[in-house]
Chains A and B, each alone.
Chain A
Amino acid sequence: MALPNLFRLIYRNIRVNTDPGSLVILVGLPGMYLIFFGFGFGSLASAGGDSRAYLAFLAPGIMSFQVLLAGTVGGSMLWADRRYGMLSQLLSGPFTRFQYLLGIILASVLFGLGGAAVMLVVALGLLGSVPTLPLSLAVMFGTIVLGSLFFGGLMLLLGALVKSNTTYNSIQILVLFVVNFASTVFYPLSNSLPVVLRAMFWVNPLTYVANAVRGGYTGSLTVMDGYELLLLTVEAVVILALATRAYLRSDISFE
């Protein structure tokens, strides 16, 4: 029996994005962050002593970073399908525009979940143990789903609005850099930070993802994490609505 349309699209999206080059970016890059930053900055943070404490801090951060990468996969898929003719090809086949969009969003979520799971395994290898309590895992991976939806929506919005290759890549790199480093992925939010930088941390949805995943990882979830997840949910809904609107109004190809 043939798979339903949506599953076929998800299969296709995953298959075309799991070539060796893409996997290096999706898994290799965060893996290297975890290893090099974990040990490098870990020794700095512990003044040359045991770097495991920082590694344990960084591991859930890098898991959270996966939602950003998953989002870029989603946006890039839409942009490339428009640029290289596959969107119009698919839409002249048995798929609706909405199915196509849903296929990308769900593929992004799967990339987020898969990447986070791989990082958890890497952390297990480096630290010797990771949380296995169902509740911890549910919090961590539930947050990853929410984060992937938000950043998937954000990057889809970019993919729907931008036509130029240079512009798309420039904005994507800028977003990746700013969102990643102005969050609690690599370091905790400190009161010693300049006010502007602190404000950037606070409005950055990746901070909410990192805090909640870290809370689930260390079993130290706070009420604040709950509020942040709520805000993240609202933001994800809004950004997905905007992305869907932009996508449905966009040209299906760059001809």
Chain B
Amino acid sequence: MALADPPSSPRPPGGPDPVIFAQDLRHSYDGKRFALNGVSFSVRRGEIFGLLGRNGAGKSTLIKAMTTLIQTTSGTLRILGMDPAREGQKIRNRVGVVQQGESFDFSTVQGNLDIYGVLWGLSKPERVQRREQLLARFGLEDVRKRRAFDLSGGQKRRVQVAREFMHDMDVLFLDEPTVGLDVIMRHTLLDSIRSEAQRGLTVVFTTHNLEEADYLCDRVAVIDEGRILLLDSVENLKRLYGGKKTVDLTVSGADVPEFYRQLGERLGARAAVTVHGKEAVILSDETKSVLSEIAQLSQASGVQLEWLNVRGNTLEDVFLRSVAHPERSNGAA
């Protein structure tokens, strides 16, 4: 499915007992605007489920609801078959959470991991063993004696993620875990997550980075303004746009906005145009006519073509199209 309302009765893709089951979740912080507005989905055991969306789309609210930090205004939510409203503590005993914001104790890196191990009830030998493994795995050995608050942004993020692996869990929630990480460490983290998922860990994570969602996720949900706009496997989402190509365009000149406005008008329903300043991403299955319109219009308007590229679809195109707003796009969903 794609570009559709969420199913009224979500069925878990991998069996009758989903690890996470959400139906028609709604949540409002102020009683006026809904941060979640009818969200339905399910996640099966061992699945890596990605939540994609812009800032303020509702991803973090959804994570908070699933980790029992907030109770949704309405709807049904089950985590590991339990109701967060009544069995919050039982759920929290079996999940791990890496929050979006910083969260450290006033201690060293090693101290933070150690204290977390105590909090989760690990014996000292087990604690030391896990701590040492994680310090090595996340490249934190050199900074183990430094205070967590004094680290760089990427190092802090690594500590937060490493710390969560101090304890066993059935479901891991990661709220933008790779922010601030360099490429190598990002892949180390993603590979660690994948490896844990292969051993049965269910992972729900939010990200802005669509490449890593493409790399890691079994399924993704694109969320915007509290609603799920798309929900499917990455491959299916790309296949949905299989007949289409993407044209990347950069122009310069006196009146770029007017150029894009006229281009949108000329292309009409043949293409979806998403504009960001001088750049545009144009999604269409009639690439030749799109290129022809661009050439004609640029000559007529005096706008110069700086960059033009035709390529196959990526998840980013799917995402852009799904969340594109009328004022920024033409023909987008």
Q: Given A8-B118, A8-B121 in contact, is the A94-B93 Cβ separation under 8 Å?
A: yes
Q: Which B residues touch A8, using CB under 8 A?
A: 118-119, 121
Size range of the chain A interface in the assembly: 20 to 34
Contact B119 A9 (CB under 8 A): yes
| Secondary structure class of chain B's binding surface, majority of residues | loop
Contact B92 A92 (CB under 8 A): yes
Contact B121 A93 (CB under 8 A): no
Q: Given A84-B103, A84-B104, A85-B99 in contact, is the A94-B118 Cβ separation under 8 Å?
A: no
Docked complex Cα distance between A94 and B123 (Å): 16
Min distance, Cβ A253 to any Cβ of chain B, angstroms: 7
Q: Which listed residue (A9, A11, A80) contacts B106, Cβ 8 A?
A: A80
Chain B: how many interface residues by the 8 Å CB criterion? 26
Contact B101 A255 (CB under 8 A): yes
Closest residue of chain A to B95, judged by CB? A92
Contact A252 B103 (CB under 8 A): no
Closest residue of chain B to A252, judged by CB? B69
Q: Which listed residue (B69, B102, B120) contacts A92, Cβ 8 A?
A: B69
Contact B99 A16 (CB under 8 A): no
Contact A93 B103 (CB under 8 A): no
Docked complex Cα distance between A253 and B99 (Å): 11
Contact B118 A11 (CB under 8 A): yes
Is A245 located at the chain interface by the 8 A CB criterion? Answer: no
Contact A84 B107 (CB under 8 A): no
User: Which residues of A pack against B, CB within 8 Å?
Assistant: 2-3, 8-9, 11-12, 15-16, 19, 80, 84-86, 88-96, 252-253, 255
Closest residue of chain B to A12, judged by CB? B115
Query: What are 11 A-B interface contacts by the 8 Å CB criterion?
Result: A2-B121, A12-B119, A16-B106, A19-B106, A80-B106, A84-B104, A86-B104, A88-B69, A88-B99, A92-B69, A93-B119
Docked complex Cα distance between A95 and B67 (Å): 12
Docked complex Cα distance between A253 and B120 (Å): 21
Docked complex Cα distance between A9 and B99 (Å): 20
Q: Given A3-B121, A16-B107, A94-B89 in contact, is the A85-B102 Cβ separation under 8 Å?
A: yes
Contact B120 A94 (CB under 8 A): yes
Contact B118 A12 (CB under 8 A): yes
Is B5 located at the chain interface by the 8 A CB criterion? Answer: no
Docked complex Cα distance between A11 and B111 (Å): 13
Q: Given A8-B118, A8-B121 in contact, is the A92-B104 Cβ separation under 8 Å?
A: no
